[in-house]
Amino acid sequence: MRRKAVLREEEEENSERWNDWAAMQHALGFAEQAEIGFRKAFELDSSNLQAAANLGGMLVTRGCPVEATPFLLAALNTADAPQRAAVQNVISQISKMNGAPAPVAALAKT
């Protein structure tokens, strides 16, 4: 009985697990499931910058750059230089699209 309680505790949902699951769904071509997973990961932990970057990038590829912007801006706070550069590149691309918020262009240069 005690072992089951430990397993349930270990199986508790968390942001990292949702992000990993969503990344696998994305890799397998299940975009809708991936989006749900990335959103859940970010909802559980808004400091999960990898989930923010993943969701933002996915929304951009789906043609939703305005919706992607807050997630990408959050992802800019990462300490990981290559990831930050990749996010800056995506933000720069958004700033060139029609309908992108004006502050995005300025933030992409930071």
Contact 104/69 with Cβ under 8 angstroms?
Answer: yes
Model-level pTM?
0.75
Contact 82/64 with Cβ under 8 angstroms?
Answer: no
Q: pLDDT tens digit string along 10-28?
A: 567 899 999 999 999 999 9
Whole-number percent of the chain with pLDDT over 70: 77
81-96 and 65-75 helices, crossing angle to 10°: 150
More confidently predicted of 98 and 52: 52
Closest CA to 26 of 50, 54, 46: 54
Domain limits at 96?
2-108
As for how many domains the chain has, the answer is 1
The domain that holds 38 is classified in CATH as: 1.25.40.10
Q: pLDDT tens digit string along 24-56?
A: 999 999 999 999 999 999 999 999 999 999 999
Buried b (16+ CB within 10 A) or exposed e, 11-37: eeeebeebbebbbebbeeeeeeebbeb
CA atoms within 13 A on the CB side of 10: 6
